[in-house]
Amino acid sequence: MKEIKLTSTEKILMEILWEKEKVFMKEILESYPEPKPAPTTVATLLKRMQNKDLVGFTLYGNSREYYPKVAKSEYFKEEMTSMIDRFFNSSVSQFASFFTSNSKLTQKELKELRDIIDQQIKE
């Protein structure tokens, strides 16, 4: 799997693409929160992200319909793995210990986590 690194501005754009799945520039600009970036800024971002192989497009005459080439779940998995590597010495058990002791989880949530782990062990 290729490494997926997004800047904060790229992440905002990817969130729009993940939500819309296929979208033209006009719709991208409409989806941005205020203050909206200039169209040239978004075009530059899209070009940079195409070069990183994160975004693709289909040409319809002079219009481009953009789409994400990386699934949100793939990006999230990579981000979580990177965080666990950086903060917990690549130890998932250290992460789980930190998460469960610092998240103020309810008994119900803890039991749900245990059920998820038990299910993974069975598989």
Claim: this prediction has a pTM higher than 0.85:
no
Per the structure, the complete domain to which residue 80 belongs is given by 1-90
Co-location of 32 and 68 in the same domain? yes
How many angstroms separate the Cα of 121 from the Cα of each of 31, 95, 118? 42, 18, 5
Co-location of 84 and 102 in the same domain? no
Co-location of 86 and 111 in the same domain? no
Co-location of 80 and 95 in the same domain? no
d(CA 70, CA 64): 18
Q: What is the pLDDT of residues 69-102, one digit of tens each?
A: 999 998 888 888 888 888 888 888 888 888 788 7
123 residues of the chain, pLDDT tens digit each: 456 788 889 999 999 999 999 999 999 999 998 899 999 999 999 999 999 899 999 999 999 999 999 999 988 888 888 888 888 888 888 888 887 887 788 889 888 888 888 888 888
| Structural domains counted in the chain | 2
Cα 58–chain centre separation:
22
